[in-house]
Amino acid sequence: MNGPDKVLVTGGTGFLGLEICRQLVARGTETVSISRRPSAELAELGVRQYHGDLADLADLAVLARAANGCGAVVHNAALAGCSGPLRPYWRTNVVGTLNVIAACRLQAVPALVYTSTASVVFRPGGLENVDERLGYPRRHLAAYPMTKAKAEEIVLAANGPSLATVSLRPHLIWGPGDPHFTPALLRSVHGGRLFMPGDGSVLVDSTHVRTAAHAHLLALDRLHAGHRSSGRAYFITQGEPLPVGSLALLLLAAAGVTARWQALPRTLVHLAATARDLGARLPGSTDTHALSRFITAELTHPHWFDLTAARTDLGFAPPVTLTEGLTQLAGDAGLSDAVKVLLAARAG
């Protein structure tokens, strides 16, 4: 299936955005990026770069120039985090999305793929094998999932004859160059122990960065062909849920760190997270990755998803398995073949 000849990727310098650009360039698509700062990696790929703040109306003209002549936009730029005040998240995730849609309409771009997150539907109690019929919760536990849900609503509401839209919901993205998930685990290891709330037994889904990017290209192709996927949201994961403790320890092992799960009392952690939430939401707070009720709930409740819709409508299948991804990480870390075999056995 042929996709658009030219694609704009917002946030192309980010972890997922860069991989989307790599895959677009690899298949011969003219690729453009807009982000706040230049990237040597994008330059090496031959990606044309524009620079600006998506949420700043003064930069809307730059955004519109970047979208000029594009057959589609992948809106991947976002402020991610598990804590912090609402205002910066709203500005980047909601206002920025409104401006991207405005630029699409100004330049008659016919398709928009939005990078959402499975956390838009997360709620206390967890999610077990849920599909896209599940609505948003009445109340989100943090500003990040709340603003991503609002932006997703806006994107899907914009779907119509002149602009086909789709929203993808990857979850817990990891892989080479991961700047968030694995580093957070490494920071939590002390004396060979990974200190976390709960016993690590709840099942969670995750997504390799190559899998997440591959899904974006599939969605671009479907929208370009006028497929029925327009106006819909899709969960995207490896489809291999693991106990959160196993996933965490496997990622640490792939990074060359041996640790064991050290359970912390859930009630005590919840009280500490509530106190940190209150402090992180004060005006002037800039900490987006502090301990929070949101991250505590995700560590102590299941969240895994039914991928039937993505498989059926997008032809989705992960291009890399969990074991293959972990083995690759171990190789990148210079670990021995024996460690790679052990990782493969544990993941299997």
Average pLDDT, the chain: 90
| pLDDT 10s digits, 275-309 | 666 666 665 655 556 567 777 888 889 999 999 99
Residue carrying structure tokens 């030219």: 6
Run of H or E including 141? none
Is 161 among the domain residues? yes
pLDDT, one tens digit per residue, over 7-30 is: 999 999 999 999 999 999 999 999
Tokens of 113: 């793929």
Model confidence pLDDT, tens digit, residues 52-75: 999 998 899 999 999 999 999 999
Q: Per the domain annotation, does 136 fall within a domain?
A: yes
89 is catalytic: no
What band does 273 get if pLDDT is binned at 50, 70 and 90?
A: low
- Residues whose CB is less than 8 angstroms from the CB of residue 48 and which lie 6 or more positions away in sequence, other chains included: 31, 32, 33
| Residue 285: per-residue pLDDT | 58
State the greatest distance between any 2 C-alpha atoms of the chain, in Å, as a whole number: 58
Distance CA 344, CA 26 (A): 28
Average pLDDT value for residue range 165-176:
96
| Cα 293 from chain centre | 20
pLDDT digits (tens, 9 = 90+) for 127-169: 999 999 999 999 998 899 999 999 999 999 999 999 999 999 9
* Residue-range definition of the domain harbouring residue 62: 6-177+206-239+305-319
Residue of higher predicted confidence among 287 and 232: 232
Residues 6+ apart with CB under 8 A from 133: none
Res 104: pLDDT:
97
Q: What is the CATH number for 210?
A: 3.40.50.720
Please report whether residue 224 resides in a domain: yes
Residue 267 confidence (pLDDT): 73
Does residue 267 belong to any structural domain of this protein? no
In a domain, 233, yes or no: yes
- Residue 198 maps to a domain: no
Place 264 in a pLDDT band, splitting at 50, 70 and 90: confident
* Each residue's pLDDT tens digit, 79-119: 998 778 889 999 999 999 999 999 999 999 999 999 999 99
- Centroid of chain to Cα 301: 19
pLDDT at 266 over 70: yes
Mean pLDDT computed over 201-213:
97
Q: Is the pLDDT of residue 336 over 80?
A: no
Is residue 192 in a domain?
A: no
Q: Which of 50, 89, 144, 234 is catalytic?
A: 144
Higher-pLDDT residue of 273, 64: 64
- What pLDDT does residue 168 have? 98
Q: Is residue 246 part of a domain?
A: no
- Total number of domains in the chain: 1
Tell me the pLDDT band of 196, cut-offs 50, 70 and 90: confident
Q: Among all chains, which residue has been given the structure tokens 């969960």? A: 235
At 347 the pLDDT is 55
Per-residue model confidence (pLDDT) at position 3? 86
Min mean pLDDT across 156-160, 175-179, 184-188, 209-213 is at 184-188
